[in-house]
Amino acid sequence: MGRIGLAGPTRLLDIVFPGHTNHHGTLFGGIGLAHMDKVAFIAASRHAHVDFVTASCERIDFAAPARLGDIVELTGQVTRVGRRSLAVTVEMMAEAPISAERRRCAIGVFNMVGVGDALDAIGGRLPPLVEKPVSAGDDALHMVEMVFPEQTSHYGSLYGGNALAAMGKAAFVVASRHCRKTVVMAGSRRVDFANQIQKGEVIELVARVTDQGRSSMAVEVLLCAENLQTGARRQCGSGSFTMVAVDGDHRPASVS
């Protein structure tokens, strides 16, 4: 049986690409704050399944930079619940993909207020914070992302190219952590999409390395969607990706 504790945190991962850096070559602070607010919103919505708005954020200090090429990992956890508002503590960490060096970039508390008909439907009071069993977990990577309107197609659902990009990102992160080498995508064996994902929903990606060769790794990625109003989850896609470790000349390198 797993240990008893607060409900597990919501985890979002991203890569620091050039479009998100400032003139110093580090993650632009506004992008970092946007990521933190997004995680706070998802964590709050998962707790109560009502609409939330950000009321305020308590002191946030940027203690260390996230550099170009770093993996940025944000975790958000509900730590205090009132009648119509709650607090989410959000931590942002930067990780160097090859050296595995991790740095705490920022930590802060976001105060979120429940609004709308869904809150009225449950009596105008948010559910209390309770202890829940926390499983021991597995070796898979779990990461979430929010689906905004600009990511959807003309059908109003998540554009397939954006879904593929999210799955590719998950494959890159889990492969990089597995071998701690420079990693590139060599190909995809198969990708299947089973259900549409609507704007306003959360996607969760579960990725794991399933096989390893001399320089290549097979990564399986599962794509799920979650309705934040109901908590209902469904599998929407899956894919198999081949990731290859390379050296400084972009030639295959040994994984081990």
Question: Tens digits of per-residue pLDDT, 52-104?
Answer: 999 999 989 899 999 999 999 999 999 999 999 999 999 999 999 999 999 99
Indicate whether 166 and 100 sit together in one domain. Answer: no
Rounded Cα distance, 256 and 250, in Å: 17
* 19 and 100 inside one domain: yes
Q: Does residue 151 form part of some domain?
A: yes
Question: Of 34, 50, 14, nearest to 205 (Cα)?
Answer: 14
What whole-number distance in Å separates Cα of residue 146 and Cα of residue 118? 20
Residue 184 counted as domain residue: yes
Q: Assess if residue 252 is contained within a domain.
A: no
**How many Cα atoms are found within 13 Å in the side-chain-facing hemisphere of 3?**
5
Give the end of a domain, one of 134, 169, 198: 134
Q: What is the pLDDT of residues 158-168, one digit of tens each?
A: 999 999 999 99
Q: Domain total for the chain?
A: 2
Whether residues 189 and 238 share a domain: the answer is: yes
Residue 256 lies in a domain: no
Whole-Å CA distances, 180 to 18, 140, 175, 253, 256: 21, 16, 8, 11, 9
Q: How sure is the predictor about 1, in pLDDT bands with cuts at 50, 70 and 90?
A: very low
pLDDT at 183 over 50: yes
Residues 6+ apart with CB under 8 A from 27: 16, 20, 21, 65, 66, 67, 70, 72, 94, 105
CATH (domain of 242): 3.10.129.10
> What is the residue whose two structure tokens read 């409900």?
7
Among 134, 160, 193, residue at a domain's last position = 134
96-100, 139-143, 179-183, 201-205: lowest mean pLDDT where? 139-143
User: Tell me, what's the pLDDT at 136?
Assistant: 59
pLDDT confidence of residue 137: 61
Is 172 found in the same domain as 51? no
- Same domain assignment for residues 95 and 34: yes
The DSSP code for 120 is H
Average pLDDT over residues 201-213: 97
Q: For residue 98, how many C-alpha atoms fall within 13 Å in the half-sphere facing its CB? A: 11
Does residue 235 lie in a domain region?
yes
What percentage of the chain exceeds 90 in pLDDT? 90
- Residue 4 is predicted with a pLDDT of 34
The pLDDT value recorded for residue 134 is 60
Q: Distance (Å, rounded) from C-alpha 228 to C-alpha 38? A: 13
What are the backbone dihedrals phi and psi of residue 104, each rounded to the nearest 5 degrees, phi first? -80, 115
Residue with tokens 């549409």: 196
pLDDT for 6: 43
HSE-CB of 84 using CA atoms within 13 angstroms: 14
For residue 31, the enclosing domain spans 3-134
| 72, 170: one domain | no
In a domain, 251, yes or no: no
- Close Cβ partners of 133 (under 8 Å, ≥ 6 residues apart): 1, 2, 3, 4
Domain assignment of residue 254, yes or no = no
Does 129 have pLDDT greater than 60? yes
Q: Do 122 and 85 sit in the same domain of this protein?
A: yes
130 lies in the same domain as 146: no
150 and 130 share a domain? no
Last residue of a domain, one of 134, 157, 191: 134
Residue 255 covered by a domain: no
In the predicted model, is pLDDT for residue 220 greater than 60? yes
Residues 237 and 200 in one domain: yes
Instruction: Give the contacts of 167 (CB within 8 A, at least 6 positions apart).
Output: 191, 205, 207, 221, 223, 237, 239, 241
Q: Please state the rounded mean pLDDT for residues 133-150.
A: 83
Mark whether 7 and 130 lie in a shared domain. yes
For residue 151, the 8-state DSSP code is G
| Residues 204 and 85 placed together within one structural domain of the fold | no
